[in-house]
Amino acid sequence: MLLAAVVGYLVLTVLVGVFSMRLIKNSGDFMNAGRSLPLFLSSAALFALWFGSETLFGATSAFLKNGLLGIIEDPLGGFLCLLLFGGLFARRLYRMNLLTLGDLYREAYGRQVEQLAALFMLLTFFGYIAAQLVALGLLLEMLAGISLTQGIILSTVVVSIYTLAGGMWAISITDFAQSIIIVAGLVWACVLLVNEAGGLAVLAQSTPPEHFKILPPPTTHDWLHYLAAWMTLGLGSLPSQDIFQRMNASKNERVAVHSFYWGGVIYLLIAVLPLLIVLAARHLYPHLLQGDMQQVLPKVMLTKMPLGLQIVFFGALLSAIFSTCSGAILAPASILSENIVKPLLRKPLTDKQFLLLLRLSVVFMAFSGCLMALQRTNIYALVGEASLLGLVTLLVPMTVAVFLPKYAHALPAALSMMAGLVAWYFCEHLVQTAVPALIWGSLASSGAYITGWGIHRLRKRPLVR
């Protein structure tokens, strides 16, 4: 019964994507929903962007192991990212009327920096797509009894069809419907489990006090890693095409800004629910914590909840992760087609040809993410690593292009990207440093931009005899 209901729910989701094809008249509709999303759809899209596998599986696992300090990266860092983007970047970027975030680097720094930035953006998405596919594979493994590998491959095929059909319109419509259903399911489950455990006070008393500490021990080492956790998603996801794409789909500037505030607040409030569920599960059913802790939440729902709740939860959960995965595929596909492939073509493309290129790029990104998902299955690590690369390569040039355009030049931008990447890789993989590698990478990126600007000014200054 549960499996049949979930399959039916997925079929309905795919049909929504197919129906959305009617709204796709050109490439702008496919990529940015024609810049026509109202506040409720735009806010739901931003909430659904973050509320996926990393929140339900990765964050709950990290919370069980390390308490509140384990979820600084996500969901707290994700909340910080939405607030910062809405308060600092959304209004300025919306006014620029760009097609992709890669276009910002072309306008500010030129074609070569655009393609370098686009390459780094692509690299940030492979791990994120893989994380969603792993989550879908885990769920299908539990619900349908197929292997994780089969679940990942099946999910890749389904999400590719869904994304190819409806683009950003399909993502936005289903995000709204799925958000309502998944929230209803989580509230239902949370109330049942917390009441069964005896209430929030009993849960708090049965949990070690250090589980609720929000600040690290007073040592330099711990505070540096604490800062790094906030930076990973909080800053690292700012130069991300999927956030930009949802902002750019808003129908006006006011909606673009306010949707980030609403989306961020809703995300933070709803992200608490799965944490309470697994906390209650730890108190009531400690045997469920054996093995992979990423599966604690779905195990609780599958074995301890009534059938009606299971149908609501798993149907909406699968569909929500499919939608998150779809957005994660569409964003880099837009970058690949607009900022990498299109400039390499000798002849300009018609809009129909560009739409075909977009869809081919969707297929490429989906199956590239599938290959990574088949090799690595730690959802939290995949998402964190995806954000790190954007932080150390793209954030500084993006910030300069938006806020200090008169200081934007190709040389310092290219140096900033490369120095950040080299410093991060060196400290992450080749040497052991007390300071987290992403902090070294960020400092190197900032320092290289300043140095590059100084070199640029010296080259422009005439010789004095």
Same domain? 275 vs 196: yes
Alpha-carbon span 122 to 99, nearest angstrom = 16
Ranges 108-122, 289-303, 426-440: which has the least confidence: 289-303
Same domain? 35 vs 93: yes
Alpha-carbon span 112 to 126, nearest angstrom = 22
CB-CB contact of 451 with 413 (8 Å)? no
Assess if residue 393 is contained within a domain.
no
Residue 4: pLDDT over 70? yes
Same domain? 50 vs 170: yes
Assess if residue 9 is contained within a domain.
yes
Assess if residue 395 is contained within a domain.
no
Residue 286: pLDDT over 70? yes
Give the angle 277-278-281 at the CA atoms, nearest 5°: 90
Same domain? 456 vs 360: no
Same domain? 95 vs 57: yes
Question: What total of structural domains would you count in the chain?
Answer: 2
CB-CB contact of 325 with 154 (8 Å)? no
Assess if residue 398 is contained within a domain.
no
Select from 337, 355, 387 the last residue of a domain: 387
Assess if residue 223 is contained within a domain.
yes
Same domain? 461 vs 335: no
Residue type, 211: H
Same domain? 377 vs 443: no
Assess if residue 329 is contained within a domain.
yes
Residue-wise pLDDT tens digits, 326-369: 888 988 999 999 999 998 888 888 988 998 999 999 999 999 98
Residue-wise pLDDT tens digits, 125-159: 888 888 888 888 888 887 777 888 998 998 898 88
Of the chain, the percentage scoring pLDDT greater than 90 comes to: 41
- Alpha-carbon dihedral of residues 209, 211, 216, 222, nearest 10 degrees? 130
Q: Tell me the DSSP string of 176-225.
A: HHHHHHHHHHHHHHHHHHHHHHT-HHHHHHHS-GGGG--S--SSHHHHHH
The pLDDT of 169-174, averaged and rounded, is 77
Same domain? 443 vs 307: no
Residue-wise pLDDT tens digits, 55-101: 877 788 889 889 999 999 889 999 999 999 999 999 999 999 998 99
What CATH number has the domain bearing residue 53? 1.20.1730.10
Identify the domain containing residue 417 by its residue range. 409-465
The most confident of 3-7, 315-319, 438-442, by mean pLDDT: 438-442
The pLDDT of 316-326, averaged and rounded, is 78
The pLDDT of 386-401, averaged and rounded, is 90
pLDDT confidence bin for 377, thresholds 50/70/90:
low
Of residues 244 and 183, more confidence is placed in 244
Same domain? 283 vs 423: no
The pLDDT of 164-192, averaged and rounded, is 82
Same domain? 295 vs 247: yes
Give the pLDDT score at 465.
43
Give the pLDDT score at 438.
93
